[in-house]
Structure 1
Amino acid sequence: MNANPQTHQTETDYASVVAPQTVRLQRLLPGPVERIWDYLTDSDLRRQWLAAGDMQAAEDSAFTLVWRNSELTDPPGHKPEGFGDEHRMDSTITVFEPPHRLAFTWGGGDVTFTLEPRGEQVLLTVTHRGISDRNNLLMIGAGWHQHLDTLVARASGLAPEPFWDGWTRLRAEYEHRIPA
C-alpha cells in the first residue's frame, strides 16, 4: 500500500466486481484495529472521509448518513454536474461486532466493513451489495475508491487529493475497468 494512494494506484486499490451487483475494495491502514473501527463508527471521524451521522452501537438501530463531499478536502476540486451540496440516506445497522465487523443497509442493498489486524496495520474490506445497474457500479466503485483513498490519507496523517478531482478521474477509469 502506498503512503500517498492518490498518486500511485495499484491494481489491488480498485473495486472488484465479485458477484452480480456487488463490489469489494480493500485498503491497508495504520492500526490498531480499534482506531480504524472509530473511523467507521464515530460520526466526527467518519465525516472526514465518508459521511457524518450518529449511530447507536447496536444492531437494528436506524441512523442517517449525511454526505458533504465538498467538505472532505481543501480544496474540494471541481464538483461534477448533478451533485448537490448535501446528500442524506437513512440506514439501519444489520451487524455490529466491534471492532471487526459493521454492516448497514444502503438504499436497496447493504455495505459490510470487515477489519483484520495485519501486524501494526489493519486490512479494511468493504463489500457493497445490491447495486442496481452498471452506471451505479461505476459511480459506487469510483466513490468508494475515492472515499477510501481519503480515509487512508487521513489515518496516515497525509493531505488527501481533492475529492471531486479524484472521483472524476476514477469514474473515467472505472468506465474502462467494468465491462458493459
Structure 2
Amino acid sequence: MNQTSENTRTLVIERTFSHPLEKLWRALTEGSLLAQWLLKNDFEPMVGRRFQFRSEPMLQWDGLIDCEVLVVEPLKRLSYSWNALGLESVVLFTLTSEEGGTHVRMEHSGFRPDQQQAYGGAKYGWQKFFGNLEQVLDGGIQ
C-alpha cells in the first residue's frame, strides 16, 4: 500500500549556533567534518551523488544508510535521501544567517504511521548529532 505525504510524519529540529554560516556549511558538506559529528561517509555535495553513511552494525542491521544528494544551494539548503531499515525518507537542512550566528533547521520527513520506533530513534539520534555538531564547531573549524 502506497503512503501519501499526508500520512507521514516529519521530525523538525531547530537550533541557533554561535558560528558563522560558512562554518556550518562546511560542517554539513565536507565529508571529513561530517564524519566527526554525524557518521562516516563518502559524501560529496553534488546533486545526484549517491553515498552512504556508515554506522556500527547492530543486530539485524549492517549499519549502512543509502543516500542520494537531492539539493545543494551553497550556504542555504542541503537535502538528501536517507534510506535504511525500510525507512525511505528525506533530510533537509536550511541555514539562515542571524546576528551572532546561524540558525539551522533540520527536517527529516517520510516516517509512516507504522514507523513510530524509527521516528523515536531519529528524534533521539538527531538530538545527539546536533550536540556533536556543536562540539565540532566549538573545536575550531576555521
TM range, smaller chain = 0.7 to 0.9
Aligned 1:55-94 pairs, distance under 5 A: 55-68=43-56, 82=59, 87-94=63-70
3-state SS of paired residue (2:37): coil
TM-score by length of 1: 0.64
**1:109 paired to 2:89:** yes
> 2:37·2:133 contact (CA, 8 Å) conserved in 1?
yes
- Aligned-CA RMSD value: 2.4
Report the TM-score, using the length of structure 2 for normalisation.
0.80
Shift of 1:90: 1.7
Query: In the alignment, is the contact (CA less than 8 A) between 2:34 and 2:40 conserved in 1?
Result: yes
Structure 1 residue matching 2:135: 3-state secondary structure: helix
2:130 alignment counterpart: 148
1:96 pairs with 2:72: yes
> In the superposition, relative to structure 1, how do residues 23 and 63 fare at CA in structure 2: closer, same or farther (>3 Å)?
same
The C-alpha deviation readout for 1:2-44, integer Å capped at 9, x for no partner, is xxxxxxxxxxxxxxxxx84211001111321111111111111
Shift of 1:82: 4.5
- Contact 1:112-1:127 at 8 Å conserved across structures: yes
What do the CA deviations read for 1:98-128 (whole angstroms, capped 9, x no partner)? 1110000011110000111111311111100
Aligned length: 128
8 Å contact kept, 1:26–1:126: yes
Name the CA distance, whole Å, in 2 between partners of 1:151 and 1:48: 8
After the TM superposition, list the runs of 4 or more consecutive aligned residues in structure 1 that deviate by more than 6 angstroms.
none
Q: Which runs of 5+ in 2 are unaligned?
A: 1-6
Deviation at 1:157, TM superposition (A): 3.1
Any stretches of 5+ residues in structure 1 without a counterpart? 1-18, 70-80, 159-180
The residue number in structure 2 matching 1:34 is 22
Percent of paired sites with the same residue:
23
Of the three residues 99, 107, 115, the one matched with 1:119 is 99
Deviations 1:105-158 (A, max 9, x none): 011110000111111311111100012321111111000011111111221239
